[in-house]
Structure 1
Amino acid sequence: MAFPGYDFASNFVEINRVGMHYLDEGRGDPVVMLHGNPNWSYYYRNLVHALRDRYRCLVPDHIGCGLSDKPGDDRYEYSLARRVSDLEVWLDHCQATTNLTLVVHDWGGMIGMAYATKYPERIRRLVILNTGAFHLPATKPVPWQLKLARGPLGAMLVRGFNAFSRGAVRSCVTRRPMSSEVGDAYCAPYDSWAHRIAVHRFVQDIPLRSGDRGFDLVTETASRLWLLKGAPMLICWGDRDFVFDAHFLQEWKLRFPEAEVHEYPDCGHYILEDAAEEVVPLIGDFLDSHPL
């Protein structure tokens, strides 16, 4: 199946008998791009095109997402800890364990920073795009959309009607509407009840209180973020994100006051869609200006 702007070779690795799809484009220092929910490696297509002439761009589809396998609960534990383990196994497979640049968005931030704080010596640069690596800020209420998706009607909405994916391509871009072709590409991997399992499990796995699965891992990761202060950090932020909003951005600024921050008041959660013309060159310049 062809997707607009996604003209890359597919690679696969088996992790615990489950297939993970990933991109491996270009040569040079590894730039690892981690997507969130409900998208997939398609989110980074423009950034890969811009960087692959001088960097090795490594972009996985998390298990259950994109072109990766979509196993049932009997074959895969859809948990944060498992995601972090998958990332570690995959990077070992790619022989990419030194001089890493992480580009993280949405759930990719929690997954990537859990890995980064476990191996801070491997991380050289960080690019943060509307994400978190800590608990929900005390001043931030849980958005109603997430409450609805986590509630009794969640399975029917997320897996039956694909409401989370379809809603994202409409509500997560606010500068200009997403084209139908691009929106269809985002949703294409999630074409059935069975294939939407990861989209639903990601929402269900958000640890909001002590005792929730993953809560302790988020606590541990947040407590170790200081280990990454030596790595240059670029933050590009869509201010109209309904989840990762100003409350999250303020937390990043407090933890990393030396970070280079660029805010986009008219942009939403999918910052690489809303502001690709500005953010993609900015990331390239940031990497080039901080050589390893």
Structure 2
Amino acid sequence: MTARAGHAPASRSAALERLMPGYPAPRHWRRVPVTGQHYLDLGSGQPVLFLHGNPSWSYVWRKLLHRLSPHARCLAPDLPGFGLSRHLRPADGVPDPYEAQLEGLDILHRHLVRDVGLPERGWTFVLHDWGGPLGAAWALRHPGVVARLVVCNTVAFPFPDGFRLPFYLRWIRDHRPVAGLVHLTNAFARTALRAGVHHPLPSAERRAHLRPCARRAERRAITDAVRAIPRGPADPVWRLLEPPGAGAGLSALPMLVGWGMRDPVFTPVLLEEWTRRFPRAAVHRFPDAGHFVMEDAAAGLGDRIRDFLQGAS
């Protein structure tokens, strides 16, 4: 599947709507020239960057993008290797996958500022799952660029006491044969789309979520991201969140936490750690939402984010 900026014939738009129901039209699709990274660009006003996790892509934000684009400039990239961005091949191997993703964010931000004309500072980051540590680490490396944070079922600190990663994620992470089988069958993505929501998704939307990773060659980033889940407080991923000169860090930023309370992985133990570390954050719990809180509680979460952007958290 390819994506190009600009308008598409009506027949192509109709076909895409059948393939990816609810996804913004191709006139909102963009590519970063240097890397080919795909992103969505909707609305006008202050820039809001939506960073997805694993095994998702920008499709997961579609409901929030439609609700928030009348109020802000909404930008939703597919992280390299995910969604409609160029898929990673073994030859693309880099010594540090975290640094590779952070470099991708560097290039995306430079493109949006220099080529598209967005402001360098004053950004809002909306973070979910793997987008949490990546977005937080990038914000700490570029103080002053991110003005506020929205946190949705993610982490940006070492796992606290009392939290234990589910056994199936530990199996994939720690046992290469298991990871190989999951990669072969796409089991992780398929299971996540069922277990990660409280209200089951329509079959057409599940298929749309899975479409970019339908072939084995296109799901390497999904398996690698599970394999990269930190094992302990000394893991390199957590050191990204302690850059030299970070100062007050994330605690200096206005923060909204929107949390799906039925998440089987990011349990309330992690939410309690967010509230302990960031006592000034505005916290909204969604009791009937799972890991994909933006799927289960799009209306309520969208309204909270809108009010947060307008200064009424």
TM-score, normalized by the shorter chain, greater than 0.5: yes
Deviation string, structure 1 residues 96-117 (Cα, Å, up to 9, x no partner)? 4310001000000111000111
Q: Which shifted more, 18-27 or 196-205?
A: 18-27
Shift of 1:290: 5.4
Partner of 1:281: 303
Alignment of 1:128-277 (within 5 A): 128-150=151-173, 151-174=175-198, 176-209=199-232, 212-218=235-241, 220=242, 224=246, 226-277=248-299
* 1:103 partner SS: strand
Amino acid at match of 2:39: Y
For 1:270 and 1:147, the matched residues in 2 are separated by 20
C-alpha distance in 2, partners of 1:223/1:268? 36
Who is 1:124 aligned against? 147
Q: 1:233 to 1:82 in 2, by over 3 A?
A: same
Residues in 2 aligned to 1:38 and 1:70: alpha-carbon distance in whole angstroms: 13
SS in 2 for 1:24: strand
Unaligned runs of 5+ in 1: none
Q: Verify the 8 A CA contact 2:57 2:78 in the aligned structure 1.
A: yes
Q: Which runs of 5+ in 2 are unaligned?
A: 1-15
Q: Give the corresponding residue for 1:13.
A: 32
Decide which of 77, 84, 92 is 2:102's aligned counterpart: 84
Percent identical residues: 39
1:35–1:107 contact (8 Å) kept in structure 2 = yes
Change beyond 3 A, Cα 1:4–1:210 = same
Range moving further from structure 2, 142-151 or 29-38: 142-151
Work out whether residues 159 and 194 of structure 1, in 8 Å CA contact, stay in contact via their aligned partners in 2.
Answer: no
Return the alpha-carbon distance in structure 2 between the equivalents of residues 69 and 164 of structure 1.
21
Residue in structure 1 matching 2:54, options 37, 42, 48: 37
Corresponding residue SS for 2:109: helix
SS of 2:207's partner is helix
Question: Is residue 158–residue 164 contact of structure 1 (8 Å, CA) maintained in 2?
Answer: yes
So what's the TM-score if we normalise by structure 1? 0.91
The amino acid of 2:253's aligned partner reads: A
- The root-mean-square deviation of aligned C-alpha atoms, in Å, is 2.1
Tell me, what secondary structure is at the counterpart of 1:188?
Answer: helix
User: Would the aligned equivalents of 2:158 and 2:233 in 1 still touch at CA under 8 Å?
Assistant: no
For the residues of structure 2 that align with 1:210 and 1:247, how far apart are their CA atoms? Answer: 16
Q: How many residues align?
A: 287
Q: CA deviation at 1:231?
A: 2.2
User: 1:33, 1:261 → 2: CA distance?
Assistant: 19
- In structure 2, the CA distance between the partners of 1:147 and 1:89, relative to structure 1 (3 Å rule), is same
Which residue of 55, 80, 87 maps to 2:72?
Answer: 55
Larger-gyration structure (1/2)? 2
Superposed, which structure 2 residues align to 1:59-74 within 5 Å? 59-74=76-91
By how many angstroms is 1:289 displaced? Answer: 2.4
What's the TM-score, normalizing by structure 2?
0.86
Aligned 8 A contact 1:64 1:198 in 2: yes
1: CA distance between counterparts of 2:209 and 2:247? 31
